[in-house]
Amino acid sequence: MQLFIDTANVQEIRTAAGWGILDGVTTNPTHIFKSGRPFEEVLQEIFSIVDGPISVETVSLEAAGIVNEGRAVARFHKNAVVKVPVMVEGLKAVKQLAAEGIRTNVTLCFNALQAYLAAKAGATYISPFIHRKEEAGQDGLEMIKEIRGIYDRYGYKTKILAASIRTTREVLECLNAGADVCTMPFNIMESLYHHSMTDAGLKMFLDDWKKVPPVKLFAAAPAGR
Ligand code: G3P
């Protein structure tokens, strides 16, 4: 499963990229607003940090407008993926963009039927929103399993990009449900590394290490080799 970060905060993206496990970025209009920076400027910086798929959302409500915005996004950078809301006009645009070889990420998906339609339209990615669905009292993870089943049964190549993740448990469940990609906020990605027993175990080892007689082996290793 690929790991994407869901933000337009370049400090967070830079830090996560430095960890060596980041495959891509997803943005949305709210992230761009929260960055407090001009759209093109923040995008340019994100593309310079991560060499992987970066989703940029369209805002038109008509297919023709979405297609124009999508072409502009695709021209902006070779790694751009055009993020399009799942709706009639959106999926008409996705079909056209796919015919032009432009990659798309169909977003705001809340059930498997929408995911099925996105796949039929030729979407590269589908973004089912897990946590927002859970907050509405519905089963977000079951949706991922259903989409996985439908795509596998009928051979759709659209990748499942699990989105709206707010807990590490949801990341694990996405892995178990067969998501192709999981996009998450910085704090959740950082939390994936941690376990209180790891911290306690490390402290114990390092405390005991202080009692070991001086070690020549590590001192002899030149820095950076
Ligand atoms: O990519 C989907 C994401 O941007 C929405 O997530 O956390 O706002 O529900 P969230």
Q: What is the mean pLDDT of the chain?
A: 96
CATH number at residue 106: 3.20.20.70
Residue 138 resides in a domain:
yes
Residue 166 and residue 129 in contact, taking contact as beta carbons nearer than 8 Å: no
Q: What value, to the nearest 5°, has the Cα angle with vertex 113 and ends 109 and 115?
A: 45
pLDDT digits (tens, 9 = 90+) for 118-159: 999 999 999 999 999 999 999 999 999 999 999 999 999 999
From the CA of 166, give the closest atom in ligand 1: 7
pLDDT digits (tens, 9 = 90+) for 25-47: 999 999 999 999 999 999 999 99
Reported residue count of the chain is: 225
pTM of this prediction? 0.94
Residue 89 resides in a domain:
yes
Helix (H, G, I), strand (E, B) or coil at 49: helix
Ligand 1 pocket test: which of 3, 35, 164, 188 has the largest number of ligand atoms within 8 Å of its C-beta? 164
Residue 17 resides in a domain:
yes
Ligand 1 pocket test: which of 25, 83, 132, 144 has the largest number of ligand atoms within 8 Å of its C-beta? 132
pLDDT digits (tens, 9 = 90+) for 4-14: 999 999 999 99
Number of domains in the chain: 1
Catalytic residue among 34, 83, 95, 133: 83
The whole-number average pLDDT for the span 60-66 is 98
Q: What is the extent of the structural domain holding 104?
A: 2-197
Burial 7-33 (b: 16+ CB within 10 A, else e): bbbbebbebbbeeeebbbbbbbeebbe
Residue 71 resides in a domain:
yes
Residue 157 and residue 134 in contact, taking contact as beta carbons nearer than 8 Å: no
Q: How far is the CA of 108 from the centre of ligand 1 (A)?
A: 9
pLDDT digits (tens, 9 = 90+) for 165-191: 999 999 999 999 999 999 999 999 999
Percent residues over pLDDT 90 in the chain: 96
Residue 220 resides in a domain:
no
Residue 217 resides in a domain:
no
Name the amino acid, one letter, at 42. V
Phi-psi category of 22—alpha, beta or left, where left has phi over 0 and alpha has psi -120 to 50? beta
**What pLDDT score was predicted for residue 225?**
58
Burial 121-136 (b: 16+ CB within 10 A, else e): bbbbbbbbbbbebbee
Told to judge if 83 belongs to the known catalytic residues of this protein, a careful annotator would answer: yes
Name the amino acid, one letter, at 96. Q
What does residue 116 show for φ and ψ, rounded to 5 degrees? Answer: -65, -45
Residue 23 resides in a domain:
yes
Q: How many CB atoms lie within 10 A of CB 209?
A: 9
**Whose alpha carbon is nearest atom 3 of ligand 1?**
164
Residue 219 resides in a domain:
no
